[in-house]
Amino acid sequence: MIVFKTSAELRNYIDSQRNLGRSIGFIPTMGALHKGHISLINSARQSQKLTICSIFVNPAQFNDKQDFDKYPHAIADDIVLLSAAGCDVLFLPTLQEIYPNGPENAQEYHFGFLETVFEGAQRPGHFNGVGKVVAILLNMVQPDALYMGSKDYQQCAVVKNLCKQMGLADKIEFVACPTQREADGLAMSSRNRRLNEPQRALAAIIYQCLVSIQSKSILNSPFAIVAKECADLMKAKKIEPEYIAIADADSLEPLSEFDPNKKMVALIAAKVGNVRLIDNMIIN
Ligand code: PAF
């Protein structure tokens, strides 16, 4: 695996590979990699793409400074994992490389309604920060395909919208890869490594609640009751739900009741100790 720290070196290499007829698969990450990220690398490799992964912990997307300070860093382990997975290129830019004029002066993107619900509502400015960095990375890498994890369901919607705003929707294939889960169902996330042992053992309740919402959707149970049952279950284990919601899976318009005529997604955000976790499940 080749590691580049500057976009100039990266571009030179990408251009040389394009001249050889290769197409580019891109996986943007913030590092602290796990099997979920590796599944994205595998997807890109399976479609014969030159596989480029970036690791950059983007300060612009953290609305909580403490969350940014505590974000796990594991670059040596990440390099081992990426090399073993057969990733071709790691792009490891500095803050200066991504934001030469500072994050606050980078081009802003807005996502309208998507900024007002769920993660958008709970983390003001978060998606604007994601938009800034992903736009910069897409301009640097100019990939043919972009691979992102479905665990960040709303982020996938935001980035698809970003590609449209950038006029890239027809040029970049957006591939949303399935959420990878631990044996007990907990969605893989870099944040899981901040859980202590008892917290880790309890965190799978989030997944159990999603499964319960899915099964209750088939029975068409009143959603308010289902959501309260889930909230009570979490609170009994000292997990603080931020939202337990269902939404139209395409528009992310929140729904107050199950609608058998719609493709729906159930979404949960909850704090396990001071670690904020999110997960989701398509429910029909
Ligand atoms: O999902 C992430 O890891 C980040 O939000 C992303 C897409 C790499 C942008 O910083």
Pairing of strands 254-255, 173-177: unpaired
Superfamily name with CATH number, domain 190-278 = Pantoate-beta-alanine ligase, C-terminal domain (3.30.1300.10)
- Per domain, the residue ranges of the chain are 2-177, 190-278
User: Where does the pLDDT of residue 284 fall: very low under 50, low under 70, confident under 90, or very high at 90 and above?
Assistant: confident
> Facing residues of 268 across strands?
244, 279
Residues designated catalytic: 37
d(CA 250, CA 199): 33
**Mapping DSSP to helix (H, G, I), strand (E, B) and coil, where does residue 130 land?**
helix
- Position 121 scores a pLDDT of 98
Which ligand 1 atom is the nearest neighbour of the CA of 130? 9
Q: How many Cβ atoms from other residues are within 10 Å of residue 242's Cβ?
A: 17
d(CA 71, CA 62): 10
Distance from residue 28's CA to the centre of ligand 1 (Å): 6
CA distances from 180 to 36, 75, 79, 200 (A): 5, 21, 20, 16
State the fold for domain 2-177: Rossmann fold (3.40.50)
Contacts of residue 224, Cβ cutoff 8 Å, sequence gap at least 6: 256
User: Where does the pLDDT of residue 98 fall: very low under 50, low under 70, confident under 90, or very high at 90 and above?
Assistant: very high
Q: What is the pTM of this model?
A: 0.97
CA distances from 75 to 29, 81, 86, 91, 96 (A): 12, 10, 16, 12, 18
d(CA 251, CA 121): 15
User: Where does the pLDDT of residue 262 fall: very low under 50, low under 70, confident under 90, or very high at 90 and above?
Assistant: very high
User: Which protein residues touch ligand 1 with a CB less than 6 Å away?
Assistant: 28-30, 58, 61, 130, 133-134, 152, 155
pLDDT tens per residue, range 126-172: 999 999 999 999 999 999 999 999 999 999 999 999 999 999 999 99
Pairing of strands 50-55, 24-29: parallel
Distance from residue 36's CA to the centre of ligand 1 (Å): 13
